Chains A and B, each alone.
Chain A
Amino acid sequence: MAAAELLSDEGYRLDGRRPSELRKVRARMGVFEQADGSAYIEQGNTKALAVVYGPHELRGSRSRALPDRALVHCQYSLAAFSTSERRRRPPHGDRQTAELALHLRQTFEAAILTQLYPRSQIDIYVQILQADGGNYCAGVNAATLALMDAGIPMKDFVCASSAGLAADTALADLSWPEEAAGGPQLALALLPASGQIALLQLSARLHQQRLELALEAALAACRSLHAVLDAVVRERLRQASQALGD
Chain B
Amino acid sequence: EVWQIRLDLHLLNHDGNIVDAASIAGIVALCHFRRPDVSVQGEEVTVYTPEERDPVPLSIHHMPICVSFAFFQQGTYLLVDPSEREERVMDGVLVIAMNKHQEICTIQSSGGIMLVKDQVLRCSKITGVKVAEMTELIQKALENDQKARKEGGKFGFAESIPNQKITAFKMESAAVDTNNLEEQAEEIITKAEPPAEVFTNPILHTPGTAQIGEGIENSWGELEESEREEVVEEEDESEAAGFEDQKMETEETKSTMEKSKDEPIVLSDSEEEEVVILEPQEPPKRTR
| Pairing of A with B | yes
Does B115 sit within 8 A of A, measured CB to CB?
yes
The total number of A-B Cβ pairs within 8 Å is 75
Does B42 sit within 8 A of A, measured CB to CB?
no
CB-defined contacts of A103 to chain B, threshold 8 Å = 110
CB-defined contacts of B68 to chain A, threshold 8 Å = none
- Tell me the complex Cα distance, A219–B121, Å: 14
- Tell me the complex Cα distance, A141–B107, Å: 21
- Tell me the complex Cα distance, A197–B75, Å: 11
CB distance from A207 to the nearest CB of B (A): 5
**Which of A109, A110, A208, A212 sits near B102, CB closer than 8 Å?**
A208
CB pair A208 B103 closer than 8 Å: yes
Ranked nearest first, the 5 interchain pairs of A and B with the lowest CB-CB distance are A196-B114, A202-B107, A110-B112, A106-B112, A200-B109
CB pair A201 B107 closer than 8 Å: yes
CB pair B104 A197 closer than 8 Å: no
Does A198 sit within 8 A of B, measured CB to CB?
yes
CB-defined contacts of A199 to chain B, threshold 8 Å = 109-110
- Tell me the complex Cα distance, A200–B115, Å: 9
- If A199-B109, A200-B108, A215-B120 touch, whether A206 touches B114 (CB-CB below 8 Å) is no
A182-206 interface bits toward B, Cβ cutoff 8 Å, 1 = contact, 0 = none: 0000100001001111111111111
**Which of A191, A205, A211 sits near B114, CB closer than 8 Å?**
A191
Residues of A within 8 A of B (CB): 102-103, 106-107, 109-110, 186, 191, 194-209, 211-212, 215-216, 219
CB distance from A190 to the nearest CB of B (A): 10
Give the residue name and chain of the A residue nearest to B102 (CB).
A208
Does B82 sit within 8 A of A, measured CB to CB?
no
CB distance from A177 to the nearest CB of B (A): 22
CB distance from A36 to the nearest CB of B (A): 22
Does B181 sit within 8 A of A, measured CB to CB?
no
**Which of B109, B111, B121 sits near A201, CB closer than 8 Å?**
B109
CB distance from A10 to the nearest CB of B (A): 29
- If A195-B117, A197-B120, A211-B124 touch, whether A202 touches B104 (CB-CB below 8 Å) is yes
**Which of A110, A198, A200, A206 sits near B103, CB closer than 8 Å?**
A206
- Tell me the complex Cα distance, A102–B99, Å: 28
- If A208-B98, A208-B124, A208-B128 touch, whether A198 touches B105 (CB-CB below 8 Å) is no
CB-defined contacts of A202 to chain B, threshold 8 Å = 104, 106-108
Does B113 sit within 8 A of A, measured CB to CB?
yes
